[in-house]
Structure 1
Amino acid sequence: MPSCSVTEISKCIVYPEKKSTVSDLRLSVSDLPMLSCHYIQKGVLLSSPPPSFSFDDLVSSLRRSLSSTLSLFPALAGRFSTSPAGHISIVCNDAGVDFVAASAKHVKVSDVLLPGKDVPLLFREFFVFERLVSYNGHHKPLAAVQVTELDDGVFIGCTVNHSVTDGTSFWHFFNTFADVTSGACKIKHLPDFSRHTVFDSPAVLRVPPGGPRVTFDADQPLRERIFHFSREAITKLKQRTNNRVNGIETAVNDGRKCNGNGENNGKITTVLDSFLKSDTNNKKTHDRTAEISSFQSLSAQLWRSVTRARNLDPSKTTTFRMAVNCRHRLEPKMDPYYFGNAIQSIPTLASAGDLLSKDLRWSAEQLHRNVVAHDDATVRRGIAAWESDPRLFPLGNPDGASITMGSSPRFPMYDNDFGWGKPLAVRSGGANKFDGKISAFPGREGNGSVDLEVVLAPETMTGIENDAEFMQYVSQVTYDC
């Protein structure tokens, strides 16, 4: 890995192409808790544009398309304002966003895409506003874009205030930006800025003097890796948690039944493969609420393996926290393109002893039960509870026994093409990372594959790398660079 940093070439403010007609947008019950979180940082690694399209041409094109896109998403070009009563709103005043062009031409794509190794810290230099807390949107842009030229590729990094967007809104903006850049004739979906939802509230969040700070130690030593799970591996996990592979559950559920390479013995693999082939041909429909999902199965396996790697006391309570999209959980449903935060956190608790002494199905059932129960009534109870005690969201892992799952493999992270092909990879910056922070991405090949961006204490990461039960499902990803 080259020991150099990224060089800034130019910096400017990009303004919306058209003047905003959107009124002030009061931050909601779901927006306000994020004021103590870092800005979201996500971006895409692309191959180099055609030789006829220089980097200067690309920079000019991105500036123009960003200006056009901001006209569709004027909230991102605004700033926060706090009223005398304490309500914080987005003022859509066309103040603009930061745009940076940078160079790291001594870095090759192969230098930063390292299957089976830690994610290079260099990715953090592909984003602006490193460690900026969302409350700073009062005087800082609510969004920024950095385009960095590599030797044989380009990284487009987008940074957005977390009190303005959740993951759903972030990728809606990012993919629209790509569509505009590539010259798409028609924008697929326009954002909904309506604030007449159950999340809109007159409640006031009292902010500490000087503004909030993140609730975790951003300087703690950490390791970060991307673990890839193919569709076949995910399917096997789902079959295992739903007990559809009769006779082999007890043999598979313990990592000690696997060999040192994390592979099942031949008999187990043969039985599994045979069952999966027959199950694929089964066209019967299943009740999704009765079935443990693929992602819940994968999350349960991660929960077990991280807990084992942490070597916790059996009586220690562990927490697996999932962020869920509430747009479709409400009655009536919110617009799927509602622009803002519409998320809540679902915590699932279990003792370390129970997680490790019971089988994987038990762990997955705990997650499944909470996710299924998070309906319209649950969402509304959560809103009422927050209104009675407005507070910032406490990100972090203060007890050393928690996992926080963010993002989603359902987000359309690869559904963007800036004009010369889909991304080689999706990566994030250093925002909101702590021991136990996991982010779920779709695998590049799609088809139900999943990438987990796993951030752990160094000794815990070593533990799951040596956990046969976990590693048997991990496959090596190849990049078409």
Structure 2
Amino acid sequence: MMQNNPCQVNIISECFIKPKHRFDDSKQIHYLAPDDLIMLSLHYIHKGLLFNKPPGFDSVAFAHKLKRSLSIALLHFHPLAGCLATKKYADEHCSWIYVDSNKGPGARFILAQTDSLTMSLSNILSSFSDVVPLTRTLFDLGERGIVNYDGHYRALLSVQVTQLVDGVFVGFTMNHSVADATTLWHFIETLSEIYDLDATNSCPAMISRVPMYRTSFPEGISPNIKLPYVHPDEFISRFDLGVQLRKRIFQFSAETIASLETKVIAECSNDSISISPFNCLAALVWKSITKARNEPYDMLTTCYLVVNSRPHYNPPLCQEYFGNYSMMARGQCKTGQLHENSLGWAAMVLEQAVKAQDDQAARAAFKSYVKSPFVAQPGWSSSTFGSNGPIIIGGLPSRFDMNEPRFGLGRTIAVRDGQTNKDDGKVMANPGRDGGRSVELEICLTADTMISLLLDQDFMSYVS
């Protein structure tokens, strides 16, 4: 029976999907590394794919085939089939948190439908308005207060298929203490590959990119990393920003990215350093948001880039390594310096910050965490810095081919994020709907800052 939802999304059916069989001892326990444990008090990842609705689309038949494919995909991504578990050491006042792949109900699957008057492709794709609040209903576990620690009793992975008036949205929700966006994209592409092969339960699909798992931690460090807490109240907080943020999508075409790159190269005096196209765009965003905030010239301004650390190790790790592998590259200077210097100068600052995140830095961060483990808290930038918090740019726009057909629905029209992990100054990058090197940025700012950014002709001249 269809259940009514106050957010005008009707749940048609829901269930939990398990892999075909229980995992053996070698796969049952999945150890969490520092980059995983630090995320326990933060939010799940939300990524969703928007498609045109094919003629004669049958949502029930589509869901049935996707659930069958999901049960096979979980054989390869076995931690996502389980749930978090904790072993406490009261006499040491610490605890060990890990993933039990055989515990829990499996991955959650939801089939839903929006009210015909509330959501269509045009609502989601509009570049002339803020992100539609109803977007959060297209993902599971999007309600306030849900954090990764809740993976002890909530699914580590959820898939929600929502039928729109003229489209189909497939929303993925993944526990961020178990894996990062690179792993999520890998999972989405594998699930689509299995679906397109029309694999059956009697024949597990052979996939083209098999997930890789840690077999040991660096230099003999025990994988049993104990956190200095016993009760979750000691390290889990459900932070409410208390500030009304505006979230808006800005599109940048491949031609715009190329022109930014040309401009940056012309302005850089050091020809020996190459600057990535994405860092050119990040520099524009850093300068523009800082200008829109109208901060004092003697104040520090900071831009963090979330860096996928897999290729930064020596030897590099392949992109198929499962888990969280990320570092924060920090560009920082006085606001006056950022205003007075060129876009090329800002891009150079960010490029050098990224290059500093090398093998030595990654291993040093790992060792430092093991000596003094902690759990990051949500909303730290707002609570620490107020309205002058850092700009944090994340996302993997170059790792997803928009033109590749998926789930029998054709090319992806757009990628959208949910409402989680949002803070003033947070920027999420996704591949642009035009494919190639085009990029879409979801920028979250306070209302006053967003108005100033929209009135900035220099910035808006680059927006498609």
TM-score, structure 2 as length reference:
0.88
1:461 has 2:464 as partner: no
**Residue identity opposite 2:348 in structure 1:** E
Q: Which residue of 355, 369, 374 maps to 1:372? A: 355
For residues 358 and 453 of structure 1, the distance between their equivalents in structure 2, rounded to whole angstroms, comes to 26
SS of 1:144's equivalent in the other structure is strand
Q: CA RMSD in A?
A: 2.2
| 1:474 aligned residue | 463
| 1:228 aligned residue | 251
Alignment of 1:82-481 (within 5 A): 82-85=86-89, 86-93=95-102, 95=104, 96-106=106-116, 107-130=119-142, 131=144, 132-183=146-197, 186-198=206-218, 201-207=223-229, 209-211=231-233, 212-213=235-236, 216-243=239-266, 290-396=273-379, 397-398=381-382, 399=385, 400-401=387-388, 402-412=390-400, 414=402, 415=404, 417-475=406-464
Residues 197-222 of structure 1: per-residue CA shift (max 9 Å, x gap)? 43974442234733444575344201
SS of 2:40's equivalent in the other structure is helix
1:183 is displaced (CA, Å) by: 2.1
**Residue identity opposite 1:40 in structure 2:** I
1:38 is displaced (CA, Å) by: 0.5
Distance 1:57 1:129, change over 3 A: same
**Residue identity opposite 2:98 in structure 1:** S
Distance 1:394 1:350, change over 3 A: farther
1:105 is displaced (CA, Å) by: 4.3
1:14 has 2:40 as partner: no
Distance 1:469 1:213, change over 3 A: farther
SS of 1:453's equivalent in the other structure is strand
Q: Is the 8 A contact 2:302 2:330 kept in 1?
A: yes
| 2:50 aligned residue | 45
Higher mean alpha-carbon deviation, 383-392 vs 445-454, is at 383-392
Q: Is the 8 A contact 1:220 1:434 kept in 2?
A: no
For residues 441 and 325 of structure 1, the distance between their equivalents in structure 2, rounded to whole angstroms, comes to 15
Distance 1:165 1:172, change over 3 A: same
For residues 168 and 391 of structure 2, the distance between their equivalents in structure 1, rounded to whole angstroms, comes to 32
For residues 194 and 175 of structure 1, the distance between their equivalents in structure 2, rounded to whole angstroms, comes to 21
Distance 1:135 1:392, change over 3 A: same
SS of 1:190's equivalent in the other structure is coil
Residues 383-409 of structure 1: per-residue CA shift (max 9 Å, x gap)? 122223212234542312211111121
Distance 1:328 1:180, change over 3 A: same
Stretches of 4+ moved more than 4 A in 1?
199-202
Q: Is the 8 A contact 1:38 1:214 kept in 2?
A: no
1:168 is displaced (CA, Å) by: 0.6
Q: Is the 8 A contact 2:236 2:377 kept in 1?
A: no
For residues 293 and 360 of structure 2, the distance between their equivalents in structure 1, rounded to whole angstroms, comes to 36
For residues 41 and 208 of structure 1, the distance between their equivalents in structure 2, rounded to whole angstroms, comes to 29
TM-score, structure 1 as length reference:
0.85
For residues 319 and 245 of structure 1, the distance between their equivalents in structure 2, rounded to whole angstroms, comes to 21
Distance 1:49 1:180, change over 3 A: farther
Q: Is the 8 A contact 2:268 2:348 kept in 1?
A: no
Distance 1:205 1:413, change over 3 A: farther
1:62 is displaced (CA, Å) by: 1.6
| 1:65 aligned residue | 69
1:377 is displaced (CA, Å) by: 0.7
Distance 1:395 1:350, change over 3 A: farther
**Residue identity opposite 2:11 in structure 1:** E
1:83 is displaced (CA, Å) by: 2.0
Q: Is the 8 A contact 2:267 2:344 kept in 1?
A: no
Q: Is the 8 A contact 1:45 1:154 kept in 2?
A: yes
For residues 241 and 12 of structure 2, the distance between their equivalents in structure 1, rounded to whole angstroms, comes to 28
Aligned residues: 432
1:332 is displaced (CA, Å) by: 2.1
For residues 268 and 79 of structure 2, the distance between their equivalents in structure 1, rounded to whole angstroms, comes to 50
